Amino acid sequence: MGDDTLTDPVHGGLRNEVRDRFVAVNGDHAMSSEDDAYVREHFVEAPPGATRLMLDGRLPLPSYVLGDGTAMVPADHGRLAELAGGLDRLHDWFVAFWEGDEAAGEREWQAYLSGQHAGLREVSPVRIRQVAERVAEARAALDLLRRDPHDPIGRGMLGEAVDGVIAVPGLDAMLLPMTAYDRLRAGGPTIRERWVDAPRAAYLTPAPPVWPLRTERLLLRPHELGDADAFVTAWGSEEWTSLLLSRPMNRAEVVEMVRRRTERGDGTFLGLAVTTLDGTVVGDSILHLQGTGLSEAEIGWTVLPEHAGRGYATEAARAVLRLGFEHYGLRRIMANLDVRNERSAALCERLGMRREVHRIADFWSKGEWTSSYEYALLREEWRAARG
Ligand SMILES: CC(C)(COP(=O)(O)OP(=O)(O)OC[C@H]1O[C@@H](n2cnc3c(N)ncnc32)[C@H](O)[C@@H]1OP(=O)(O)O)[C@@H](O)C(=O)NCCC(=O)NCCS
């Protein structure tokens, strides 16, 4: 079919007309073979029947025209007309999403018809509105974060704009990857580069602190492979691991756990060795950044049995809280623990954390449904407690 329309003078003429209209909207920029491959991956060839409808302003112009002149449209190009109850109803159905602001509805309809939403995974009025809302939210967030990169409102807004919150989709999920051609027609960065990639790099990518952290008696630093030896006995003990999610591990498994923790990853998970000032490993600590705008983290700790009861876990945790609030600008740090873990609960209380949640039989651990506590501390509470 594609080849027939290429050689058929009637269709060929229409094709040129579509291309001319496309160039009038987007400018005359060359599509490279990489651009063509990207478009073939995410779009489909416009069916011959759609050409006339595109030219008559009843269906959107192509999202792309390949180097060989093939018009490409989203796979669901005609789907909105079906949802609207037919092509004749499409316009009224579409603009109704901007009820109360007819001018905006008409503007959006024209943008839709001109194929300007090529960067959206799903081209629909709901998505067009959501993308516009999320871009406005990202813009407002960046204004706040430029003044204070730890501004909690800015972090929340940017997190929602980029990654979404529960049922609110973020730009990262709503936008396609896009291609170099999109940069040419935008005359600058693509919508994804501007509102997902750049803000993520600037404000949603944790930067490593300067190691080690030093306290009165301890050093905290990212794990090194050699740390494994110190953990083998404790992590292999049924009793010591009884209130942890992990089962007792043999030496090879402990070595592998430590090795994994040494992998840098995306910087959201910190696995730290806690040592005395002379380098003796006394325990470990974790901080896992998460939540909207990476503004929250879960903290975790262990102290080896031979070093327990001396306040090392408390001292190390205080340093990790400080790292979280001051360096990472976190808004909230929480800990989850088995309710039977009295020593861990006592540690939370010593740190000034608040028991916010007592979940009953909420998680499965080692053959039984187990209850848990969630303790948490907000940045302002932590600051106030430090005076
Ligand atoms: C949870 C865990 C880290 C708590 O260890 P811990 O030894 O009780 O905690 P610390 O190192 O902070 O030591 C506190 C104790 O030292 C005492 N202490 C002595 N010197 C101290 C000092 N300078 N500062 C503070 N406390 C001091 C405290 O009074 C306290 O003792 P107490 O509980 O008898 O009153 C430890 O039990 C553990 O690793 N358990 C196994 C793994 C685990 O369950 N991890 C937690 C998963 S949620």
CATH code of the domain in which 233 resides:
3.40.630.30
Q: Are residues 155 and 182 in the same domain?
A: yes
Cβ of 303 closer than 6 Å to ligand 1, yes or no, is yes
Tell whether 208 is covered by a domain: no
Tell whether 298 is covered by a domain: yes
Q: Which of 344, 370, 371 to mutate to test the pocket of ligand 1 (most atoms within 8 A of CB)?
A: 344
Helix (H, G, I), strand (E, B) or coil at 153: helix
pLDDT for the residue 265: 87
User: Which residue positions in the chain have pLDDT lower than 70?
Assistant: 1-12
Cβ of 314 closer than 6 Å to ligand 1, yes or no, is yes
Q: Are residues 20 and 139 in the same domain?
A: yes
Q: Are residues 104 and 226 in the same domain?
A: no
Task: Answer for the pair 334, 375: CB distance below 8 angstroms, yes or no.
Answer: yes
Half-sphere exposure (Cβ direction) of 320: Cα atoms closer than 13 Å? 33
Q: Are residues 310 and 343 in the same domain?
A: yes
Q: Are residues 289 and 338 in the same domain?
A: yes
> How many domains are contained in the chain?
2
Tell whether 219 is covered by a domain: yes
pLDDT for the residue 49: 87
- Distance (Å) from CA 183 to ligand 1 centroid: 56
Q: Are residues 244 and 294 in the same domain?
A: yes
The pTM (predicted TM-score) of the whole model is 0.92
pLDDT for the residue 3: 44
Last residue of a domain, one of 203, 227, 243: 203
Q: Are residues 196 and 220 in the same domain?
A: no
Q: Are residues 226 and 197 in the same domain?
A: no
- Distance (Å) from CA 352 to ligand 1 centroid: 14
Residue 291: which domain range? 213-386
Helix (H, G, I), strand (E, B) or coil at 114: coil
Last residue of a domain, one of 182, 203, 224: 203
Cβ of 286 closer than 6 Å to ligand 1, yes or no, is no
- Distance (Å) from CA 351 to ligand 1 centroid: 11
Cβ of 346 closer than 6 Å to ligand 1, yes or no, is yes
169-205: per-residue pLDDT in tens? 999 999 999 999 999 999 999 999 999 999 999 999 9
Last residue of a domain, one of 146, 181, 203: 203
Q: Are residues 258 and 337 in the same domain?
A: yes
pLDDT for the residue 11: 56
If phi > 0 it is left, if psi is from -120 to 50 it is alpha, else beta; for residue 5 that is alpha
Q: Are residues 250 and 321 in the same domain?
A: yes
Q: Are residues 232 and 336 in the same domain?
A: yes
Sheet hosting strand 64-65, strand order edge to edge? 44-45, 71-73, 64-65
